[in-house]
């Protein structure tokens, strides 16, 4: 990790992503329930995307962040047709570990909150590890 990356990654960086809930975003569609409201897996994707967007532009070539921990409460349902905003704010930088607070709301209320951790990785090293894992896996078959 370069010093430039370390210098740019400071608490307070944030990003927001939005969607209008469609039928493909519902628990019934993704298999996480039988109700036609925003599915928790879709909400997780929105929250993680906001965290990624908050720091993505500060990653030098060859480095990326990956999610390693997620702790959320999904506290209110959102019907199809309603807009959802998911926000992530970087609150701590500890070497390669980045910690975010998360918040999501629909047009009527707060629907989720929590924390998320991401780790800065070397893409080349990560790809090499995945290749070795694939080789080990295919050798067992």
Domain ranges of the chain: 3-140
pLDDT for the residue numbered 46? 98
Q: How far apart are CA 23 and CA 20, in angstroms?
A: 10
Looking at the chain, the whole-number percentage of residues with pLDDT higher than 70 is 95
To the query of whether residue 105 is one of the catalytic residues in this protein, the response is no
To the query of whether residue 103 is one of the catalytic residues in this protein, the response is no
Quote the pTM value: 0.89
pLDDT band for position 139 (50/70/90)? Answer: confident
CATH number, domain 3-140: 3.10.129.10
Q: How far apart are CA 114 and CA 92, in angstroms?
A: 14
pLDDT for the residue numbered 5? 60
Mean pLDDT of 110-129: 95
Per-residue pLDDT at 94 exceeds 70: yes
To the query of whether residue 26 is one of the catalytic residues in this protein, the response is no
pLDDT for the residue numbered 7? 79
Annotated catalytic residue: which of 74, 99, 101, 105?
Answer: 74
Find the helix or strand (DSSP H, E) in which 125 lies: helix 123-140
Q: How far apart are CA 53 and CA 63, in angstroms?
A: 14
């Amino acid at each position: 990790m370069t010093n430039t990356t370390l210098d740019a990654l400071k608490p307070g960086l944030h990003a927001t992503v939005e969607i209008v809930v469609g039928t493909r975003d519902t628990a019934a569609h993704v298999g996480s329930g039988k109700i036609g409201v925003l599915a928790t897996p879709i909400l997780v994707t929105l929250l993680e995307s906001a965290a990624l967007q908050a720091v993505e532009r500060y990653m030098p070539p060859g480095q990326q962040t990956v999610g390693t921990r997620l702790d959320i409460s999904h506290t209110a349902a959102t019907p199809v047709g309603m807009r959802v905003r998911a926000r992530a704010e970087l609150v701590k930088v500890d070497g390669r570990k980045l910690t975010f607070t998360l918040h999501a709301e629909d047009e009527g209320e707060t629907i989720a909150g929590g924390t998320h951790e991401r780790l800065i990785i070397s893409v080349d090293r990560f790809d090499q590890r995945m290749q070795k894992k694939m080789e080990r896996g295919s050798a067992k078959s």
